Amino acid sequence: MNNHELRERETSLTAEGRNMRENIQTAIEEALNSAPERKFIETVEFSFNLKDIDLKNPANRIQEEIRLPAGRGKPVKIAMFAGGEMATKARAAGIDIIDPATIEDLGGNRQQARKLANSIDFFLAEIPHMGTVGRFLGVVLGPRGKMPRPVPPTLDPAMIAAGLKDTAIVRSRDNMTFHSPVGSREQSVDDLTNNAMAIWTRVTGRLERGVGNIRSCFIKTSMGPSIKVEVIE
């Protein structure tokens, strides 16, 4: 068990952890009840507002990949810069393929590159293409936290994709306010609460003062009102 997992386990067993779970669950229930039904599957989001921390120092920033215990609740779009046999394996795993020969052209069309970046949740790339992706698309993918994960020639991309389908990225950069997907509106309140607690314990575990660095936090659906979570210090 690594340090993050140990801290998460310890937090979940404390009275404060149990009370936070109740408060988060209450906020989730209110957020779901307050948001009208939409014609698409809304994402449920967990937002954080920090205080008393210097995010200009990269060491203090939040950059976490969190495996959600109940999954994301809707399909995740994964694309890979690959050719040949690797592209065949990736396509068989349901991964969208981007022809490496098009990388330079994509880099020259900023609008198309942004559209691609916004439509894909995670990118993968064969190792030989990583430098080209960084050179031509890094300015678009980097700020979004979507630079591709390198896939060695001996690794089946399906294995990486399987893990990413239940993964949430929590990334603050130098912003005191940031958010993360918790799941989808189609999931049960218990599943959403389990996911939100996984995010809560990881984020507070990364902060120097833990909960003391949380100014406020909220739960909302994609287009619903923000519901404040009562934070227990």
Tokens of 145: 């936290």
Structural domains of the chain in order of their starting residue, each with its CATH number = 3-73+169-229 (3.30.190.20), 78-164 (3.40.50.790)
Residue 1: band (very low, low, confident or very high) from pLDDT cuts 50, 70, 90: very low
142, HSE (Cβ side, Cα atoms, 13 Å): 10
User: Looking at 22-26, 36-40, 48-52, 89-93, which range is the least confident one?
Assistant: 36-40
Is the pTM for the entire model greater than 0.85?
no
**Res. 5: pLDDT tops 80:** no
- CB-based contact 210:202 (threshold 8 Å): no
Mean pLDDT (the chain) is 91
Which residues neighbour 26 within 8 Å (Cβ) at sequence distance 6 or greater? 230
**Res. 17: pLDDT tops 80:** no
Tokens of 157: 């991309």
Which residues neighbour 21 within 8 Å (Cβ) at sequence distance 6 or greater? 12, 193, 197
Residue 92: band (very low, low, confident or very high) from pLDDT cuts 50, 70, 90: very high
Question: What is the structure's pLDDT at 35?
Answer: 87
